[in-house]
Amino acid sequence: MRKFNLNKKLIILNLIMLLLITIITGCGEESSKLPTRLSDGMSEKLTIHFIDVGQADAILVQLPNEESILIDAGNNDDGQMVVDYINQLKIDRIDYLIGTHPHEDHIGGLDNVINNFETGKVYMPQVNHTTETYRELLTAIKAKGKKSVTAQAGKELINTDELEVKLLGPVKEHDELNNWSVVTKIKYGNNSFLFTGDMESEAEKDILNAGFNLESDLLKVAHHGSSSSTTQSFLEAVKPKHGIISVGSDNDYGHPSSFTLQRLKDYGVKIYRTDKQGTIIAVSDGQKITFNQEQTEFKLGDSSMDNRKSKVDLIRLDLKEEIVVIKNNSKKNINLTNWNLVSIRGNQEFTFPDRSIIKAGKTYKVTSGRRAKSGTNMIIWTERYMWNNGGDAAALYDENHNLVSELSRY
């Protein structure tokens, strides 16, 4: 009888243990269906905030490893707003802080950020500037007991199977500060993102020649959409699906250029703009990217320069007749010597010869094609056809390569 009771107890104990194992195993299976983190310790999302700071840049990246990157922080007056934005996300540390180049509209608010948050490494290009804004940033870095790290092309900040952060530029030294811009590429899973600061065509050539893999799903369009950046060859290398333009409404620079907008459209790039949509937030799970806003539609007049009259304006672009008409709106004669007229789609450039004078209040024609004519206030570019009848754009630059006027016909 005692032996039977003992066996009965053992059977019951085994049944209880089997039940416990089943429950534990079942819970383990259920947990595997609801992961909050990837197997390598990564969270599931990468979130990029293109903060609306007007005619400036401020980009906050929340990495899936729970670290954060801040690329620029707007103008001086934007600093506190950027700090408040970061605080709202309950972020208390910026692990990687990048000042792309020493212009105020990019580094102006960085000292506020450094003064208000624990900061990891600070990356900047090896170029100095004499402005008070730049000195304030250096003072803030020093006060935290830190030194800025020189941003070098090829430098890897993070390199894991799922997440990579790499600096691609600047590749070379330049006279123009914009071309010193730190260029950063982030790869998460199958998605890639390229951040370009204000780099212009010269720096784009440097990066293309360096042989980096530039292909990215999302491109932060350089220099607020200026016509001096985002060249055809650069776009062909990047192959972006999405383009983000950080720009101020009705700015004095004509940003974004209608040429750049059209070029992005021609490549099938979905365009998002802070001047029209406010802060843009992109979220990636490593496979696809979603946005808090719908893409914008480009049409003529979307460039702030399209509706602005300057001293010299392009007033007519006849694609079929191959005629461009330039008007001098001022009360003085203007010398166009060494100015450049550019066909954007055709990728052609005409340099005005010596003594190309456009009189006060008068017009000047540039003709091309087989029926090209010269005469009073009229000059032949070439007898070849330069303009794309299916749609093209003209840009006029002065002798210092400053954009003076632009005109599109699509």
For the chain, the structural domain boundaries read 46-291, 312-409
CA distance 164 to 186: 6
> Quick check: 39 pLDDT over 50?
no
Instruction: Quickly state the pLDDT bin for 42 (edges 50, 70, 90).
Output: low
Q: What is the arithmetic mean of pLDDT over 130-135?
A: 96
What was the pLDDT predicted at 43? 63
Instruction: Quickly state the pLDDT bin for 154 (edges 50, 70, 90).
Output: very high
What was the pLDDT predicted at 266? 84
CA 201-207-345 angle, 5° bins: 35
> Quick check: 344 pLDDT over 50?
yes
56 Ramachandran zone, left/alpha/beta (phi>0; psi -120 to 50):
beta
Over residues 96-114, the pLDDT tens digits come to 999 999 999 999 999 999 9
The model scores a pTM over 0.75: no
CATH fit for domain 312-409, picks 2.60.40.1260, 3.60.15.10, 3.40.50.300, 2.40.50.140? 2.60.40.1260
* Mean pLDDT estimate for the chain: 87
Q: What is the arithmetic mean of pLDDT over 152-177?
A: 96
**257 or 159, which is more confident:** 159
Q: What is the arithmetic mean of pLDDT over 297-311?
A: 58
Q: Say which CATH architecture domain 46-291 belongs to.
A: 4-Layer Sandwich (3.60)
Q: What is the arithmetic mean of pLDDT over 313-341?
A: 92
What was the pLDDT predicted at 29? 32
Q: What percent of the chain has pLDDT over 90?
A: 68
CA distance 262 to 260: 5
**399 or 45, which is more confident:** 45
Inter-residue contact 263 to 67 (CB < 8 Å): no
What was the pLDDT predicted at 307? 45
What was the pLDDT predicted at 148? 96
Q: What percent of the chain has pLDDT over 70?
A: 85
Tokens of 351: 């340099």
Q: Sign (positive/negative) of CA torsion 113, 118, 121, 126?
A: positive
> Quick check: 267 pLDDT over 60?
yes
Over residues 377-389, the pLDDT tens digits come to 899 999 888 888 7
> Quick check: 17 pLDDT over 70?
no
CA 184-68-48 angle, 5° bins: 65
Inter-residue contact 110 to 140 (CB < 8 Å): yes
